């Protein structure tokens, strides 16, 4: 039986319209630029949509060169950073090395500088290690030991900031001179600057960098009129006031000149619950660490919490380098008895045995009010009132009640909002682990050696030099009485200038009335820390 004939096909109007050849030609013509636009968009996204930090498997390398997220908002384009010393050589004749950056052999960037490819360009900026890594040498000719976690006693952050601001305000900081220097540097490395970078990326980067840094200079500039910090020091909280729109040129004089030494950052686990920062204004290391990350260019939206968390975990148990020079065992034993009598009540039994002064604090923003009895007193991690310790008060005054209140707004809306900052009225009693690496001493680094700290202020050096990494094994400190050594120039520290006073930590309770022999013995015992 035959199959019935198929019914005639009734095509829709769209199908009939598409059968016209001219329609297909028009659609093809329209499709080509659309496809090219899509391909171009993909290429642009691959180039300018990037956000990749250089990562390191070993936590020590991550500490030295890993990102905290600061390159996103504050990073310098890598090649501009490399070009600046050449373009602005009159402002930094010795290059970055003259600022006390620590370089490892074979490394292109100094320790404390991280790298991230963000928005299509390699960017670099400071990380935690720039303030917490330094070197120790036995003699001026010795190879330096790189020590992680110690105060960066050679790094001149004040000088670095001044150079950057001086350079971007110089007429030489222009597209023509910067790009020419970049091309020279790349040629020396066997690389070539592409056309897109030459005519678009770097001209835009130079303009944006200049605009941003000039804006920052307009706000931070008043601090550069203060007493120069010199190597190994920073003003911790006055720059924070920029976040809260405090006009720095109008803050009270007592809050100015508040530079302090970079602290050591090892052995954080036994410090939990203690009053942290020099003035003991917080008990939560996580809040302190996030606030410190502002110094590495991070902001609440850009901070890399995973990267910082990795460092926090490592630093819980990271150990200071053991004292590498001979110790007189008999003298040290005698010094141990003196230490127990005069020092242990505030600084712990020894370099590892810390006492727990305060009950464990919680991370939640609950009622954290504690009585003065919980904060102040002769115990490690508690606070000695300023009228008792008698040291320079500028750092204490710089952290005002207003700053404590405003810090409570940082990270508002985030689960890690600050809620433990408070105003205090003295300086915290610190554990002394690795104390041999933490010279100069007192919170503002105004006493060059431990032996000098055991003298009354009237007998401590009035003028000395900071930035030397050659060690003085006798007096427990770095060589401080030479202005220049092996081609390296050091910074003069004048204790008569505002914020630099070497007074305080004096009297019978602080060992300054001991005999010379007892003082020497005490110093010998501290070498075991």
Answer whether 528's CB lies under 8 Å from 339's CB.
no
Is the bond into 393 cis (omega within 30 degrees of 0)?
A: no
Rounded distance between C-alpha atoms, residue 486 and residue 484, angstroms: 7
**In the structure encoding, which two tokens stand for residue 159, read together?**
């000088």
CA 407 to chain centre: 19
Buried b (16+ CB within 10 A) or exposed e, 230-246: bbbbbbbbbbbbeeeeb
Answer whether 99's CB lies under 8 Å from 153's CB.
no
Rounded distance between C-alpha atoms, residue 99 and residue 431, angstroms: 29
DSSP code, position 480: -
CA distances from 435 to 150, 347, 442, 476, 527 (A): 9, 11, 11, 9, 8
Rounded to two decimals, what is the model's pTM? 0.89
Answer whether 358's CB lies under 8 Å from 377's CB.
no
Rounded distance between C-alpha atoms, residue 275 and residue 358, angstroms: 8
**In the structure encoding, which two tokens stand for residue 342, read together?**
């005069």
Answer whether 350's CB lies under 8 Å from 529's CB.
yes
According to DSSP, the residues that pair with 428 across neighbouring strands are 383
- Per-residue confidence in pLDDT tens, the chain, 529 aa: 444 445 555 555 556 555 566 656 666 666 777 666 676 566 656 666 788 999 999 999 999 999 999 999 899 999 999 999 999 999 999 999 999 999 999 999 999 999 999 988 999 999 999 999 999 999 999 999 999 999 999 999 999 999 999 999 999 999 999 999 999 999 999 999 999 899 999 999 999 999 999 999 998 888 888 999 999 999 999 988 988 889 888 899 999 999 999 999 999 999 998 999 999 999 999 999 999 988 888 888 889 999 999 999 999 999 999 999 999 999 999 999 999 999 999 999 999 988 744 443 444 554 445 566 678 777 899 999 999 999 999 999 999 999 999 998 888 888 888 989 999 999 999 999 999 999 999 999 999 999 999 999 999 999 999 999 999 999 999 999 999 988 889 999 999 999 999 999 999 999 999 999 999 999 999 999 9
User: How many C-beta atoms lie closer than 10 Å to residue 364's C-beta?
Assistant: 8
Rounded distance between C-alpha atoms, residue 528 and residue 325, angstroms: 10
According to DSSP, the residues that pair with 117 across neighbouring strands are 52, 122
The DSSP code sequence of 428-458 is E----TTGGGS-SBTTTT-BSBHHHHTS-GG
């Amino acid at each position: 039986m035959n199959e019935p004939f198929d019914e005639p096909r009734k095509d829709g109007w769209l199908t009939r319209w598409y059968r016209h050849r001219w329609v297909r030609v028009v659609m093809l013509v329209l499709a080509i630029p659309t496809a090219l636009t899509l391909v171009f968009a993909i290429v642009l996204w691959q180039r300018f949509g990037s956000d990749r930090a250089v990562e390191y498997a070993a936590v020590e390398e991550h500490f030295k060169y890993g990102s905290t997220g600061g390159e996103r908002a504050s990073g310098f384009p890598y090649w501009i950073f490399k070009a600046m010393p050449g373009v602005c050589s009159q402002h930094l004749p010795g290059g970055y090395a003259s600022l006390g950056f620590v370089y490892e052999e074979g490394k292109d960037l100094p320790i404390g500088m991280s790298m991230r490819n963000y928005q299509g360009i390699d960017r670099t900026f400071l990380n935690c290690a720039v303030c917490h890594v330094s070197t120790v040498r036995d003699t001026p000719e010795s190879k330096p030991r790189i020590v992680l976690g110690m105060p960066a006693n050679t790094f001149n952050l004040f000088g670095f900031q001044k150079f950057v601001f001086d350079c971007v305000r110089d007429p030489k900081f222009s597209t023509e001179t910067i790009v020419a220097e970049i091309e020279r540097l790349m040629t020396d490395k066997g690389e070539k600057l592409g056309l897109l970078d030459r005519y678009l990326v770097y001209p835009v980067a130079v303009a944006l960098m200049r605009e941003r840094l000039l804006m920052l200079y307009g706000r931070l500039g008043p601090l550069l009129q203060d007493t120069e910090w010199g190597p190994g020091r920073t003003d911790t909280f006055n720059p924070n006031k920029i976040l809260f729109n405090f006009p720095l040129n109008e803050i009270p004089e007592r809050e100015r000149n508040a530079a302090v030494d970079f602290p050591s950052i090892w052995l954080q686990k036994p410090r939990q619950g203690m009053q942290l920062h020099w003035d003991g204004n917080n008990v939560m290391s996580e809040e302190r660490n996030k606030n410190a990350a502002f110094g590495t260019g991070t902001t609440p939206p850009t901070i890399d919490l995973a990267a910082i968390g990795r460092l926090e975990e490592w630093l819980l148990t990271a150990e200071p380098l053991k004292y590498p020079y001979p110790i007189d065992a008999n003298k040290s034993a005698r010094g141990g008895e003196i230490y127990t009598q005069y020092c242990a009540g505030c600084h712990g039994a020894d370099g590892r045995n810390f006492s727990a002064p305060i009950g464990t604090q919680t991370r939640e923003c609950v009622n954290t009010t504690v009585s003065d009895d919980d904060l102040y007193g002769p115990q490690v991690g508690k606070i000695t009132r300023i009228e008792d310790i008698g040291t320079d008060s500028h750092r204490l005054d710089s952290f005002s009640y207003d700053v404590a209140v405003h810090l409570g707004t940082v990270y508002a809306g985030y689960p890690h909002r600050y809620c433990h900052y408070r105003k205090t009225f003295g300086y915290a009693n610190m554990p002394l682990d690795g104390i041999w690496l933490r010279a100069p001493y007192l919170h503002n680094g105004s006493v060059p050696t431990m032996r000098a700290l055991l003298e009354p202020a009237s007998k401590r050096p009035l003028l000395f030099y900071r930035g030397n990494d050659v060690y003085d094994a006798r007096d427990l400190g770095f060589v401080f009485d030479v202005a220049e050594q092996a081609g390296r120039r050091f910074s003069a520290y004048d204790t008569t200038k505002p914020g630099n006073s070497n007074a305080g930590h004096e009297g019978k309770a602080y060992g300054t009335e001991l005999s010379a022999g007892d003082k020497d013995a005490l110093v010998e015992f501290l070498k075991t820390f």
